[in-house]
Amino acid sequence: MIRFEKVTKRYAGPGKPALDQVSIDIDKGEFVYLVGTSGSGKSTALRLVLRELRPSSGRVHVAGKEINRMAGWKVPRLRRQIGTVFQDFRLLPNKTVAENVAFAQQVIGKSRREISRVVPETLDLVGLKDKGDRMPDELSGGEQQRVAIARAFVNRPMILIADEPTGNLDPATSVGIMNLLGEINATGTTVVMATHDHGIVDQFTKRVIELEHGKVVRDEAAGSYGFQH
Amino acid sequence: MQLRHVLTELRIGLRRNLTMHLSVILTLVFSLFLAGAGILVQREADVAIDELGNDLQVLVNLCTEDDPTVDQGLENCAGGEVTAAQQERIEEELEASEEVESFSFQSKQEGYDRAYAQAERTGDAYLFDVEDPVVTPDTWPAGYWVTLETPDEADGVISALSGLDGVSVITDQREALSQIYGIMTILKYGSWIGAAFLLFAALLQVANTIRLAALARRREIAIMRLVGASTLYIGLPFLLEALVTATIGVALAAGGLAAFLHWGVEKGMAEQVTFLPWVDWSDYVQTLIGAFPPGIVFLGPALTLIPTLLLTRKYIKV
């Protein structure tokens, strides 16, 4: 589903590359943690998958396509197959919960009928069936993250990328979010989660890829967080 | 693509940047009005040149059957209507003259029609319309419109032609016309230079508006990019905002120009200065939709849409 072939990414200016000859292979339906210290290259790797960045060398394959040389006009189509969740939720404060979720469908041209069918379904899936009319600031952090997950999943992407999704949440709420991501993974969606949360990684055992100074230093099928920071 | 969603975004965008849009519209209205006024002045010059000739032209009238110059003691027309041989001689003289750039023949009917149009404006058309009129296409002189190489050198050819049989009167209005056309040229370029400055200001305002709108919508735009909205979809509200602004600007400028043509030209200058032919509503239409110089219906949208396209590519690049 996602394959990095000797990917190197250098940013402008001197210094070491953000990613250095990284090769990763993630299959369809896998749940993978991407761990490492700040600056280890996790976010760069996720942005390469989204084609927000292009590698300096090497190849990135997503959903069977090499995306390095993909024409700009094809990028939106690629991104429709990827859902994204962030630590800071990134909800639109002037839209209700349901409108936030529907927004992801409206902007790619889904019909009103489909939106009115899929949005309640998705809100139900994330446990916010009765909160569609609320504004984001009326929700707890955990609930806001659920809305963000609903928005990322509403188009039923093949891949879900989660960048520190539990970073702003307390441990109990984090468990709820991880259970939800697990449910989404169980539908066949590949989940790649960058995290610093060793409690979560150790509790919900999955494949762990550890990056350090832009290199893969560990790739374990059922790993633990492995280092303390 | 959901039209309803796009229209909602458009409405929100217009309301959010209302003051900026108003300032763009105002600048656009004045700049397009000046650009349109410049086009009208140019067309006015064309209309006048069409009838009166330009400041490089003299009209050589040929003798008629009962040419009035005979009574004034001039002998060129003593032989009556100009003959083919005399015409040939006149053309030879024109071709040989170094002062002449080109010349063209004007038939009796064409000369009569021009004179009639002028008489209509000055209120003298009744002279042409009376029963058994003195002036008819048959009695009107044919002639040559002679275009000079330079406005200052015409004495040689005028004196040479004046002595030729078959030449009646040489009408030389260059001095009077050159003043009028000079004023028109100043007005035309003055309008265009003013329009250019204002259009530049409008461009900067459009750029500013887009930057502010992109900033205000940065969160939405970021989400749209992430969920796979196309560049066109993300940029569409910006383009529609620019189009609405341009449409209002063009409509107000067109209204201003129509008012200027009606009250300023038709009810004003045309009633005071009757010897000049004046622009009419067909020229107004050309000012709006002409191809060259481009009419304001094209100019307005181009000036807002092109920078919008370029800047949205910069600010909302997928």
CATH number at residue B115: 3.30.70.3040
B5:A107 CB<8 A:
yes
> Same structural domain for residues B252 and B274?
yes
> Same structural domain for residues B194 and B166?
no
> Same structural domain for residues B221 and B281?
yes
Q: What DSSP state is assigned to residue B153?
A: -
Distance CA A29, CA A157 (A): 11
Q: What would the mean pLDDT of B18-38 be, rounded to a whole number? A: 91
- Judging contacts by C-beta atoms under 8 Å, the chain B residues touching residue A104 are 223, 227
Q: Per the domain annotation, does B24 fall within a domain?
A: yes
> Same structural domain for residues B172 and B150?
yes
Q: Which of A92, A104, A111 sits opposite B227 (nearest CB)?
A: A104
Question: pLDDT band for position B317 (50/70/90)?
Answer: low
> Same structural domain for residues B120 and B27?
no
pLDDT for B318 beyond 60:
no
B126, B156, B176 - which closes a domain: B176
> Same structural domain for residues B169 and B279?
no
Q: Per the domain annotation, does B130 fall within a domain?
A: yes
Residue of B nearest to A161 (CA): B226
B176, B211, B236 - which closes a domain: B176
Beta pairing class for A65-66 and A215-220? unpaired
| Number of domains making up chain B | 2
Cα–Cα distances in angstroms (integers) from residue B199 to residues B18, B26, B196, B238, B290, in the given order: 20, 11, 5, 19, 19
pLDDT for B274 beyond 70:
yes
Dihedral sign of CA atoms B6, B12, B13, B14 in order: positive
**A39 CA: distance to closest CA in chain B (Å):** 22
> Same structural domain for residues B213 and B307?
yes
B148, B176, B204 - which closes a domain: B176
pLDDT in tens, A164-175: 999 888 888 999
DSSP code string of A46-88: HHHHTTSS--SEEEEEETTEE-TT--GGGHHHHHTTEEEEETT
**A149 CA: distance to closest CA in chain B (Å):** 12
- Judging contacts by C-beta atoms under 8 Å, the chain A residues touching residue B227 are 79-80, 83-84, 103-104, 107-108, 151, 155
Q: Per the domain annotation, does B181 fall within a domain?
A: no
B227:A108 CB<8 A:
yes
Q: Per the domain annotation, does B182 fall within a domain?
A: no
pLDDT for B291 beyond 70:
yes
> Same structural domain for residues B85 and B127?
yes
Q: What would the mean pLDDT of B126-134 be, rounded to a whole number? A: 77
Q: Say whether residue A94 is in contact with chain B using an 8 A CB cutoff.
A: no
pLDDT for A228 beyond 60:
no
B231:A106 CB<8 A:
no
> Same structural domain for residues B128 and B76?
yes
Distance CA B4, CA A107 (A): 11
- Judging contacts by C-beta atoms under 8 Å, the chain B residues touching residue A80 are 227-228
> Same structural domain for residues B155 and B250?
no
pLDDT in tens, A85-97: 998 889 999 899 9
> Which amino acid is residue B205, in one-letter code?
Q
CA B84 to chain centre: 39
- Mutual orientation of helices A97-106 and A141-153 as an angle, nearest 10°? 20
> Same structural domain for residues B191 and B146?
no
pLDDT for B134 beyond 80:
no
Of A52-66, B1-15, B29-43, the least confident = B1-15
Q: Per the domain annotation, does B245 fall within a domain?
A: yes
Distance CA B68, CA A206 (A): 114
B5:A72 CB<8 A:
no
H or E element: which one contains A156? none
Q: Per the domain annotation, does B254 fall within a domain?
A: yes
Of A3-17, A183-197, B103-117, B202-216, the least confident = B202-216
Q: Say whether residue A84 is in contact with chain B using an 8 A CB cutoff.
A: yes
> Which amino acid is residue A223, in one-letter code?
G
H or E element: which one contains A119? helix A112-125
Q: Per the domain annotation, does B195 fall within a domain?
A: yes
CB within 8 Å of B133: residues ≥ 6 apart:
B127
> Same structural domain for residues B59 and B35?
no
pLDDT in tens, A115-132: 999 999 999 999 998 999
Tokens of B204: 């900067």
Q: Per the domain annotation, does B311 fall within a domain?
A: yes
Domain range for B140: 53-176
Q: Say whether residue A147 is in contact with chain B using an 8 A CB cutoff.
A: no
